[in-house]
Every structure is written in C-alpha cells, then in structure tokens.
Amino acid sequence: MKDMDIAVERLNKAMGKKERILIYGDYDVDGTTAVALVYKFIQQFYSNLDYYIPDRYNEGYGISRKGVDYAAETGVA
C-alpha cells in the first residue's frame, strides 16, 4: 500500500514514546471489523490504546469534528 512505511514508522514512534493511540474507524461492517482487528493486534504489544467509531446519523462518514474532539479530550496527540 502506498505510504504504508510512513504509517508503520509513525506507529512505532508513538509506541516508543508511549503516546496514546486512537484507532479511528467507520460504522459500516468493514470499518468496524478493521477497527476490531487492528485494535486486537496492537493490544498484544501496547496498552495505551483506544478506538472511535463515529455515529452514522450524527457524524456521517469519515473523520468528524466530534471524533477529533474525542481524540483531543482523551489525550491523543
């Protein structure tokens, strides 16, 4: 996948610096499944982890202001 190396490098950096990591998904079946799989995988190695799935009706599809606010409120850099 294009730029996967950049994403992996950033994830490793976050884990090394003990940053809070938020896995942000979406509400459809593949989105919730992806969040669950990534969360369960990373949880084996790292515990400062959270996830966010936006509300279909109130936030719509994609990144939402409410989701970004949730990240800020819970200490995600």
User: Does residue 77 carry a pLDDT above 80?
Assistant: no
Rounded to whole angstroms, how far apart are CA atoms 57 and 4? 31
- Enter the DSSP assignment of 48: S
Rounded to whole angstroms, how far apart are CA atoms 24 and 71? 9
Q: Which residues pair with 24 in a beta bridge?
A: 52
Q: What is the pTM of this model?
A: 0.82
Tens digit of pLDDT for each residue in 7-58?
Answer: 999 999 999 999 999 999 988 888 899 999 999 999 999 999 999 988 787 8
Q: Which of 25, 33, 72 is nearest to 52 (CA)?
A: 25
